[in-house]
Amino acid sequence: MMKILKFGGTSMGSPKALTQIESIFRSRIEMGEQSILVCSAMSGVTNQLFEIGKMAEKRRLSHAMELFESVKNRHMEAAEALGVRPYFEAYATALLEDLKNLIKGIGLILELSERSKAYLMSFGERLSTRLLTAYLKKKGHPVEQFDSTFIKTAGKNFIKDEVDLPLTRQAIDAVLTTPLQNGISPVITGFFGTNQESVISLLGRGGSDYSGAILTVCLGAKTLEIWTDVDGFLTADPRLVKEANIIQQIGFQEAAELCFYGAKVLHPKTIRPVIEKGGEVYIRNTFNLSNKGTLITQYPTPSEVAVISISSKKVDMITLDLFGITLNKREVMADLFQLSKALEINVDMIAASEAQVSFCIENDQENRPHFLKKLSILCPYVIKKNRSVICIVSPADVQGQIGIAGKIFTTIAESGVSVEMYSQNASEIAQLIVVKSEVSDKVITKLHENLVIRPIE
């Protein structure tokens, strides 16, 4: 059986972590499974590459070079500790030279286009996969490193591109069929693909999960395993809520809602392609193999809980004032959605009444300034920044249960916090609440305590 194993930044981030990967990989061979590994950069490296680009562009080339040296040394030291320095050097010297020249180039022209940024940020995965491959080879495993140039992107942009599935399927067949038939396990870079002009294009931050999903679907595998640094999908972000518990099984819609609204454990685009093909996704901890993790599936075993998990993300809240304009509500709504489509702005949450339409947008979207400018031509609006959408997710099978919304509002009121916007979809899976970001952690902790730990009877 073939499985896709995706290892995140912490799982790639140290010699110890790479030895964990080796033992996971070895145990799969012993079980007669064929593994395809999809890997992130070593933890923190993608951010450092981003910083390097900014420094070089802003005439701080010597700082950029210092940071480059530290990225290089981190990989070299890990290779040394794993006893594969000569192998790694053979694989990576030319790559490191390319990276150095690229940084110098940015420093000379003092310009960092999105295209160059994508190329620069792809080096993290290209280095980490070479390091892991060198180590797995040393351990006698039949592996080969691949840059994911066969993930064909739609060419929408260079930083958060979409994948063109039919083209990718063909390209993957052409490159991976023979090695797989020969029993070789590919070690593949996550995070990027190439567009129609064969230029590197990124899949968004955290996008290696999405790369894993694409490979799962294109290779006809049923299982994607996301190996990370927590025991599974938890009932809340463990950085905010210490009491967060592992969820054993969760439905894909529920998981998709939570990921879209900020549960960082999984990139939001990961689930849909796998589940559409009847597959399943596991979240596992690279550092705690005895824990079975979380299964994300179309048909989870029914759970007794009223609320399964809570997540949140930062947004801007916008209110359109429909009075005093000549367009009617129908026309404004139509124009708003046209605009969001044209400028690729996600409208995350919406509530409408006769006099006003309120909605939220993520505050880091590339076209946001352009969108706001066009919006002001359409209709007068008020924007409130530093808001958070809190997403409270119930299992699909609790539909119709009385009292969940009541408890949510009572809990928020008891925290002394005002709800600025609210919406619930008709399936009753997700309830969305907007509060000021400064009080969001406090509200999430209380909601977790009252709805997840002490559920409704």
Instruction: Catalog residues that contact Mg ion under the rule CB under 5 A.
Output: 8, 206
Rounded to a whole number of angstroms, the minimum distance from the CB of residue 53 to ligand ASP is 14
Using the minimum distance from each CB to ligand ADP, give the nearer residue, 164 or 225.
225
In sequence order, the β-bridge partners of residue 319 are 358, 382
Residues 6+ apart with CB under 8 A from 341: none
Q: What are phi and psi of 350, to 5 degrees?
A: -145, 145
Rounded to a whole number of angstroms, the minimum distance from the CB of residue 372 to ligand ASP is 26
Residue 231 CB neighbours (<10 A): 21
Helix (H) or strand (E) holding 442: helix 437-447
User: What DSSP state is assigned to residue 400?
Assistant: T
Which of residues 206, 251, 293, 395 is near ligand ASP by CB under 6 A?
A: 206
Q: Is 191 in the site for ligand ASP (CB under 6 A)?
A: yes
Which of residues 58, 115, 139, 264 is near ligand ADP by CB under 6 A?
A: 264
Residue 293: name its binding partner from ligand ASP, ligand ADP, Mg ion, none (Cβ under 5 to 8 Å by kind). none
Q: Are 300 and 287 in contact (CB under 8 A)?
A: no
Tokens coding 64: 């950029």
Residues 6+ apart with CB under 8 A from 140: none
Nearest Cα residue to 406 out of 392, 426, 389: 392
In sequence order, the β-bridge partners of residue 38 are 6, 188
Tell me how far apart the alpha carbons of residues 101 and 433 are, in angstroms, rounded to a whole number: 48
Tell me how far apart the alpha carbons of residues 240 and 230 are, in angstroms, rounded to a whole number: 14
Residue 239: name its binding partner from ligand ADP, Mg ion, ligand ASP, none (Cβ under 5 to 8 Å by kind). ligand ADP
Residues 6+ apart with CB under 8 A from 32: 1
Using the minimum distance from each CB to ligand ASP, give the nearer residue, 211 or 297.
211
Per-residue x/- track, 34-73, ligand ASP (CB under 6 A)? ------xx----x---------------------------
Q: Is 7 in the site for ligand ASP (CB under 6 A)?
A: no
Using CB under 6 A as the binding criterion, the count of chain residues that bind ligand ADP stands at 20
Rounded to a whole number of angstroms, the minimum distance from the CB of residue 399 to ligand ADP is 22
Q: Is 263 in the site for ligand ADP (CB under 6 A)?
A: yes
Rounded to a whole number of angstroms, the minimum distance from the CB of residue 435 to ligand ASP is 27
Q: Is 51 in the site for ligand ADP (CB under 6 A)?
A: no
- Transcribe 138-164 into DSSP letters: HTT--EEEE--TTSBB--S-SSBPPB-
Contact positions with ligand ASP (CB under 6 A) in 97-156 = 124
Rounded to a whole number of angstroms, the minimum distance from the CB of residue 8 to Mg ion is 5
Q: Is 208 in the site for ligand ASP (CB under 6 A)?
A: yes
Which range touches ligand ADP (CB under 6 A), out of 113-121, 142-150, 257-265, 359-367? Answer: 257-265
With tokens 């981003």, the residue in question is 50
Chain residues binding ligand ADP by CB under 6 A are: 8-11, 40, 206, 228-230, 233-234, 236-239, 263-265, 309, 311
